[in-house]
Amino acid sequence: MQRSRGFRSRSRNKMTKVSRPGRSNPITRKIQKFNNDDLVHIIIDPSIHRGQPHPRFHGKTAKVIGYKGNAYVLALNDGNKAKELIVRPEHLKPQE
């Protein structure tokens, strides 16, 4: 039998969340707004599955280049290759 190599495979520590008292998903993360050319950090919230980028992009910084529905289109370099990601705002954090 072939082993599973799904979207979240080999990401046990990266895709787990420390349980803390209080609200686990604050609504302010979902309704935050970004403008074009803003820099954002991709921090995946494992409790929200919709709009997650691939785990390889966790911790990277990207630039907002547009909107697509409720999500943002981000541009970043993965090695030497330019990539575009479609990520919901729950998985983004503004860069100060």
Phi, psi (rounded to 5 degrees) for 49? -85, -30
The arithmetic mean of pLDDT across residues 31-40, rounded, is: 96
Give CA 2 to chain center in angstroms. 29
Lowest-confidence range among 10-14, 45-49, 68-72?
10-14
| Sequence spans of domains, the chain | 1-14+34-95
Q: What is the reported pLDDT for 62?
A: 98
Flag whether pLDDT at 24 surpasses 80: no
Closest CA to 89 of 14, 77, 62: 62
- Structure token digits, residue 50: 């919709």
Q: Which fold has domain 1-14+34-95?
A: SH3 type barrels. (2.30.30)
What's the pLDDT at 21? 80
Q: Is 86 helix (H, G, I), strand (E, B) or coil?
A: strand
3-class DSSP state of 27: helix
For residue 57, what pLDDT is reported? 95
